[in-house]
Structure 1
Amino acid sequence: MCFSCLEKVKTYYQEYALKKGFGWRIRSSKKGDDGEVNYLILSCLREGFNISKISCTLKTLPSRAKNCPAKICIKLKQDGLWYITQFESNHSHETNPTKARSFKANKKMDLHVRRTIQINDDAGVRINMTFQSLVKDAGGHENIPFCEKDVRNYINKERRAIEKEGDGKTLISYFCKMREQNTYFFYDIDLDGDFHVRNVFWADARSRAAYEYFGDVVTFDTTYLTNKYDMPFVAFVGVNHHGQSTLLGCGLLSGEDTDSFV
């Protein structure tokens, strides 16, 4: 089998995993001389065999790896098409198609669903009622690749985006004003595909100067949640020559995950 692009390969394997009842992930990839990915391995979520020094009885989430061999290997050839070079269908564990939609890799919300959730949230419709209406439209729970908790997480994420009431524009205007007053004032704003503000960082002249002298060790604190958007306020803090804490920069994050931190 061959595919015209890598995304179609992932979609195909996602649909296959959903029907068979297992979760999947990208196991490894390789890049060519041009820096682009030309080889990919998609495997079962329970691939590998974790060896931990901690007893499973002491873990809140014990390791579930089963050294599962199920995988698919895809390679980009000279004709520009992606070919399946290896396919392993056997699993070392039982699969359950009825629970496959609960795996993170199999969860998805299309544009219509996201738009419906946003409209209902703006209209004040309760989340459980919105989810029930989506279930009814799809013809049952088994036809929806997400749960009510995913709807709540999506709404909370949208609410944290600084967009409503023009606060995003006000923030940018304020930063521009500060930059005009002092050219050493620095700020950076991360936007998503819909131009919503996701992450913000800023540092004034004094903080930048302090970093030049006391930036050897920097702490990163995300324990503050004092704004109406529930966005973690982060403080970059160093230690000066008197052993006192000194502020090196500030930020707002859309969430406490890898993408936001990086």
Structure 2
Amino acid sequence: MEEVVGGEILQPLQDISSGFETEIEEASSSNEGTCDENEVNYNNLDVSEKKLESKIGMTFSSQEEVNEYYKNYARQEGFGILKRTISHDDDGNVKFFTLTCCRARKSQSIGMNLLKSSLSIKTECPARIRASMQKDGKFRLNIVKIEHNNTLSPAKTRYFRSNKRLDPHVKRRLEINDEAGIGLSKNFHSFVIERDGYENLTFGGKDARNHIEKARRLRLGVGDDEAIQQYFSRMQKRNAQFYYMMDFGKDCRIKNVFWTDARSRAT
């Protein structure tokens, strides 16, 4: 995003945050084994075209490939996944990481679970994979547990958080249809028809509604952002103590506006 401070545009900082939790678990050597390594590429794999398997010894060219593979495998079998643990070496390189069934953690008290969906209740499910980086930089599965202690739901995989996704072109089309005055129900249903059913979507009606509501809050009329910036510039010329900052997103829409004057600073 870009920031305008005192009428000047600042360059955005790069995001260097990690997408993984750093909870560390000890590996169980009893679950490790050896077999012929078969390198695979599961990026953008259509799970309807091939029955995925999960076994020790599978190798992948990157951490992202492991993530994509296990997400597709989970969607095929009927469960969601969590990025559970990760370990780095002294140089910051990933040594190993663990992906688990989304019900892997301990369940909370019965009273707190009453309001939760049956799909989100934790059961300490043992299903998981662990991938370790090899000397050639590839990742090898050295722990694979496929048994679950909960009921799998292939028909409901789209409801799991790990499987929900709003692609950029979907977001843009939702916004365009909304700006054209098309109602939410008709807007969402157009995707259902296009994908031949709800089960083929990577998002639900609630996800579409949340995105449209967010876009509406950020939406401004043509020229409104320029008018606001011109007004703040005039105020700053009149009062040297006047300060403002405008936060723009990648789509050039205002995300946040902040301003203050001498009186506000004094308080």
Report if TM-score (shorter chain) is over 0.5.
Answer: yes
Shift of 1:186: 4.5
Aligned residues: CA RMSD:
2.9
Secondary structure in 2 matching 1:87: strand
Contact between 1:46 and 1:65, CA under 8 Å: does it hold in 2? yes
Greater CA deviation, 88-97 or 173-182?
173-182
Query: 1:152 and 1:6, CA in 2 relative to 1: closer, same or farther beyond 3 A?
Result: same
Query: 1:179 and 1:126, CA in 2 relative to 1: closer, same or farther beyond 3 A?
Result: same
1:15 aligned residue (72, 75, 81): 72
Counterparts of 1:221-236 in structure 2, within 5 Å, are: none
Counterparts of 1:55-74 in structure 2, within 5 Å, are: 55-56=110-111, 60-61=115-116, 64-74=121-131
Letter of the 1:148 counterpart: G
Higher relative contact order (CA 8 A, sep 6+): 2
Partner of 1:193: 250
Shift of 1:162: 4.2
Partner of 2:55: none
Partner of 2:227: 170
Letter of the 1:56 counterpart: G
Contact between 1:162 and 1:198, CA under 8 Å: does it hold in 2? no
Partner of 2:218: 161
- Report the Cα distance in structure 1 between the residues aligned to 2:223 and 2:91, rounded to whole angstroms: 43
Query: 1:26 and 1:176, CA in 2 relative to 1: closer, same or farther beyond 3 A?
Result: farther
Partner of 1:151: 208
2:157 aligned residue (100, 116, 124): 100
Secondary structure in 2 matching 1:40: strand
Greater CA deviation, 74-83 or 106-115?
74-83
Secondary structure in 2 matching 1:165: coil
Contact between 2:244 and 2:259, CA under 8 Å: does it hold in 1? yes
Letter of the 1:73 counterpart: R
Query: 1:162 and 1:112, CA in 2 relative to 1: closer, same or farther beyond 3 A?
Result: closer
Ranges in structure 2 where 5+ consecutive residues have no aligned partner: 1-57
Contact between 1:189 and 1:201, CA under 8 Å: does it hold in 2? yes
Query: 1:103 and 1:191, CA in 2 relative to 1: closer, same or farther beyond 3 A?
Result: farther
Partner of 1:134: 191
- Report the Cα distance in structure 2 between the residues aligned to 1:181 and 1:35, rounded to whole angstroms: 51
- Confirm or deny that 1:40 pairs with 2:71: no
Contact between 2:80 and 2:101, CA under 8 Å: does it hold in 1? yes
- Confirm or deny that 1:82 pairs with 2:139: yes
Q: Deviations over 1:97-129 (max 9, x none)?
A: 101101121111223322322221122111211
Secondary structure in 1 matching 2:176: helix
Partner of 2:179: 122
Secondary structure in 2 matching 1:94: coil
Greater CA deviation, 152-161 or 58-67?
58-67
Percent identity, aligned pairs only, is 38
Greater CA deviation, 190-199 or 7-16?
190-199
- Report the Cα distance in structure 2 between the residues aligned to 1:31 and 1:178, rounded to whole angstroms: 51
Shift of 1:190: 4.0
Secondary structure in 2 matching 1:85: strand
Ranges in structure 1 where 5+ consecutive residues have no aligned partner: 211-262
Secondary structure in 1 matching 2:143: strand
Q: Deviations over 1:181-238 (max 9, x none)?
A: 555554444443333333344444444454xxxxxxxxxxxxxxxxxxxxxxxxxxxx
Aligned residues: 208
The structure with the greater share of residues assigned to strand is 1
- Report the Cα distance in structure 2 between the residues aligned to 1:103 and 1:9, rounded to whole angstroms: 19
Partner of 1:5: 62
Query: 1:42 and 1:159, CA in 2 relative to 1: closer, same or farther beyond 3 A?
Result: same
Q: Give the TM-score of the pair, scaled to structure 2.
A: 0.65
Contact between 1:21 and 1:100, CA under 8 Å: does it hold in 2? yes
Contact between 2:108 and 2:122, CA under 8 Å: does it hold in 1? no
- Report the Cα distance in structure 2 between the residues aligned to 1:141 and 1:85, rounded to whole angstroms: 36
Partner of 1:109: 166
Partner of 2:5: none
